[in-house]
Structure 1
Amino acid sequence: MKILITGGTGLIGRRLTLLLQKKGHQVVYLSRKKENIKDVIVYKWDISAGYIEPEALENIDYIVHLAGAGIADKRWTEERKQEIIDSRIQPIVLLKKYLQEKNNSIKGFISASGISCYGTDTGEARLDEHSLFGDDFLAYCCKLWEEETRNFTPARRTASIRTGVVLSREGGALPKMMLPVKWGVGSSFGDGRQWMSWIHIDDICQLYLQCIEDENITGPFNAVAPAPIRNAAFVATAAKVLKRPFWAPAVPAFVLKLLLGEMSAVLLGGNYIINKRMAEELSFNYQYPELETALQDLLK
C-alpha cells in the first residue's frame, strides 16, 4: 500500500517508516520543506497558505497524521496554546479539503492523540477508552483533535492513537530524564507518586502498523504498556539498569511551577491508563510489556 505520513521525520514517524517499508509498503511524507530522505519521497505543504503539492495525494491508501507542535518545547502562553491546537487540527482540515475537491477517498486515516485527553493529572483513577475526557487544556486539545479525525469523511475508517510516554533512545522524554540518572543524581518530580503510562517506541509503531493493515480497526486506542509505574519507581528502575545511584531528593513542585508555569503539569501530573481495547480486541503482542526490559533494550 501507499501510505502518506505527516510529521514523518519525528520520533514515531522515522521508526514507523522503517517498519512499513520492511513490510513492503511505500511511504511518502508531507513536510514544510523538501528533504532528501532515503527511499521516501517528500512532498511540500504550507498549512497557513492552504497549499499541498498536487502529486502528494495521488493513489494514497492511508494517511498517518503525526504532525503537531511539541507540547513541552516552549512555555505555554495563550499564543503557544493556540499554536499547539492549530498545528494538529489545521493539517486535518487541509487534507480533507484537498481530497474532497478531487473527489478522492482513502482506506483509512490514522491520527495521533494523547492520553492527556483524560486530563493532565487524574490521580489514582484507572482509565480506559470508555472514560470521559478531562477539562484542562491538553484534554481540550485532544478532544478537538479526535473530533476532526472522526469527521475525516474521505476515509472509509478512522482511528486515534492515544499516546502515552513514548520511550526511545532517539529522542522524546527518555534521554532528558536519563541525564541526571547518568550523572548519579537521579531524582523524581514533585512527590514522585504520579503515575507514568509509558510505551516502547517499537510497540507503539507496531500498533500503528496493525491499525493500517487490519481493516476492522476503528476509534480510539490507549497506546500504553500493560504496567504503568509511579514516577519515582521509573527513575529508580532506570538507575538500576544503568547501575547508578538513586538518592537525590525529588525536584520540588514549586520549583517546576516557577520554571515552567502551567506546562509544569506535564511533569507533575500523572495518569494510570489501561490499554483495554489493545488487550481485549486486538490481542496485542507487546515486545516490551515490562519497564525494566524496555529500558534494558533502550539504555544498553
Structure 2
Amino acid sequence: MPKNVLITGGTGFIGKYLTDILIASDFSVSILSRADRKNTNSVTYYKWDLTQNYIDENAILNADYVIHLAGEGIVEKRWTKKRKKVILESRTQPIELIHSILKKHNKALNAFVSASAVGIYGADTSERICTEETPPANDFLGLTCQQWENAADTIAALGIRTVKIRTGIVLGKDEGFLKKVAPGFKAGFGSILGTGKQYLPWIHIEDLSQIYLKAIMDIHMNGPYNATVTDNTTNARFSKILANLYGYNLWLPKAPEFILKIVLGEMSAAVLKGQRVSSEKIQKTGFEFQYPDMETALSSCLK
C-alpha cells in the first residue's frame, strides 16, 4: 500500500500543485475540506470545521505523514485586530487539533511538515542575510510565524520528525502572488512599489513542491528551512523583469509609500519591506532549484 499524506489546505494554490507531485511520486493523498467532496481514485477527502474545533479523526489515524498548509491569506484584508487573530488562529488551531488527536490515540507519524514563512524575520529591509538561526522579529509577521512554529514544535515533542518550511513569495501560473499583480502589468500599468529597494524573497511553485516532497522523504531533514531563492531580487528588479516580459519598459512613477500606507494600513509593511534570505541550509541537503533565476521563473509562469 502506498504511504498516505494528509494535507491541510490541500485545495489551495500550493496544495493542489503538491497533490499532483505526491501522486506522481506514488503516495496516496488525503485532504481536509470544509465542503463535501467526492473521493477520487487518488484523493480521499475528510471533513473538518475549525469553527467547531472539529477534524474527522480518521484523517489523522490513516495518515503516515501530515503536511500543514492551511492559513488565511496575509494580504487579503487590512490587518485589523480581528483579522490578525484570524490569520494567527487559522495557522495554529489546526496544529492544536492534530496534536490532540495524535496524543489521544498515541498515533505515530513518519513526519509532520508545516508551512511557515520568511516573515518570521520581520518586515525589515536591510543588508543582513537571514538564516534559520536569525532570531524572530518582534512585529506582527515575526510573532505570527513564531507562534505558528511553536505550535509545530508540540508535534515534535511527541517524538515525531517535524520540518518547518519558511516560504517566500510563491510564483506560479495564474495563481498566488502573480494572480494579484500580473493583470496590472499585463495591461501596461506595472510600477515599482515604494522605493523598490525592498528585497523580494521568492520561489517557484515547482521548487517549493519538491522541497515539501523532500521533507517527507529525507529522514535527515528536521527543523526550519528557508524555501527561497537567494538571488537578492528587489521589488524594482521584479517589476522591471515582469514589465519586460509583457513587452514594455516601466513608465509609471513609483507608487508612493505614504499612499500605500494610507490604503493598506499596517499591512503595507508586507509589500514595502523585505529581507535577504539564505537558502544555504536547504541546498546543503542536496536540493537543487529548478528555477534559480527570476526571469526564467516568471517566463515559465506567463506561458
- TM-score between both structures, scaled by the size of structure 1: 0.96
Alignment match of 2:213 (pick from 209, 231, 234): 209
1:175 CA drift (Å): 2.4
Q: Which of 229, 235, 239 is the aligned partner of 2:239?
A: 235
Contact 2:122 2:141 in 1 (8 A): yes
Counterpart Cα distance in 2 of 1:139 and 1:98: 28
Shift of 1:155: 5.3
Q: Secondary structure at the match of 1:86?
A: helix
Partner of 1:19: 21
Residue 112 of structure 1 and its aligned partner are, at CA, apart by 0.3
The number of residue pairs the alignment matches comes to 299
Q: Secondary structure at the match of 1:258?
A: helix
| Kept in 2: contact 1:118–1:131 (CA 8 A) | yes
Q: Once the two structures are superposed, what CA deviation does each residue of 1:63-89 show, in whole Å capped at 9, x if it has no partner?
A: 000001111111111111011111111
Matched, 1:179 2:196: no
Write the distance in 2 (CA, Å) between the matches of 1:228 and 1:121: 14
- Aligned with 1:196: secondary structure? coil
User: Aligned AA for 1:202?
Assistant: E
Aligned partner (choices 283, 295, 300) of residue 298 of structure 2? 295
Work out whether residues 181 and 244 of structure 1, in 8 Å CA contact, stay in contact via their aligned partners in 2: no
Cα distance change of structure 1 residues 117 and 174 upon mapping to structure 2, 3 Å threshold? same
Quote the residue 1:264 is aligned against. 268
Distance 2:104 2:39 in 1: 29
2:231 is aligned with 1:198? no
* Preserved contact between residue 106 and residue 155 of structure 1 (Cα < 8 Å): no
Shift of 1:154: 4.1
1:87 aligned residue? 90
Deviating more after overlay: 20-29 vs 242-251: 242-251
Q: Which residue of 2 aligns with 1:7?
A: 9
1:144 matches 2:154: no
Q: Does 1:122 align with 2:106?
A: no
Distance 1:270 1:226 in 2: 13
SS of the equivalent of 2:48 reads strand
Letter in 2 for 1:32: R
**1:52, 1:182 → 2: CA distance?**
42
2:62 aligned with 1:66, yes or no?
Answer: no
What are the within-5 Å matches in structure 2 for residues 213-224 of structure 1?
A: 213-224=217-228
| CA-CA distance at 1:103 after TM superposition | 1.5
Q: Distance in 1 between matches of 2:59 and 2:186?
A: 44
What SS does the corresponding residue of 1:151 show, helix, strand or coil?
helix
Amino acid paired to 1:17? T
Q: 2:32 touches 2:46 (CA, 8 Å); kept in 1?
A: yes
Amino acid paired to 2:108: S
Give % identity: 41
- The residue type paired with residue 77 of structure 2 is K
Per-residue Cα deviation, 1:209-263 (whole angstroms, up to 9, x for no partner): 0000111110000000131311111110111222123111111111111111000
Residue by residue over 1:158-213, the C-alpha shift from the partner in whole angstroms, topping out at 9 and shown as x without a partner, is: 01000000001131111222222211121010011111011000000000000001
Question: 1:41 deviation in Å?
Answer: 1.2
Q: Distance in 1 between matches of 2:159 and 2:258?
A: 46
1:22 counterpart letter in structure 2: A
Q: Does structure 1 conserve the Cα–Cα contact (< 8 Å) formed by 2:200 and 2:235?
A: yes
| 2-structure distance, mates of 1:279, 1:151 | 27
Q: TM-score, normalised by structure 2?
A: 0.95
Structure 1: unaligned runs, 5 residues or longer: none
Separation (CA, whole Å) in 2 of partners of 1:52 and 1:135: 32
Does residue 110 of structure 2 align to residue 111 of structure 1? no
- Asked whether the equivalents of residues 230 and 276 of structure 2 are also in contact (C-alpha less than 8 Å), the reply is no
Deviation at 1:2, TM superposition (A): 0.4
What is the DSSP-based 3-state SS (H/G/I as helix, E as strand, rest coil) of the residue aligned with 2:224? Answer: strand
Taking the aligned partners of 1:154 and 1:9, their CA distance within structure 2 comes to: 28
Whole-Å Cα distance in 2 between the matches of residues 99 and 226 of structure 1? Answer: 37
Contact map agreement 1:115 1:163 (CA 8 A) in 2: yes
* 1:98 aligned partner: 101
Contact 2:243/2:249 (<8 A) preserved: yes
Worse-matched range after superposition: 119-128 or 254-263: 119-128
* Aligned equivalents of 2:152, 2:159: Cα separation in 1: 10
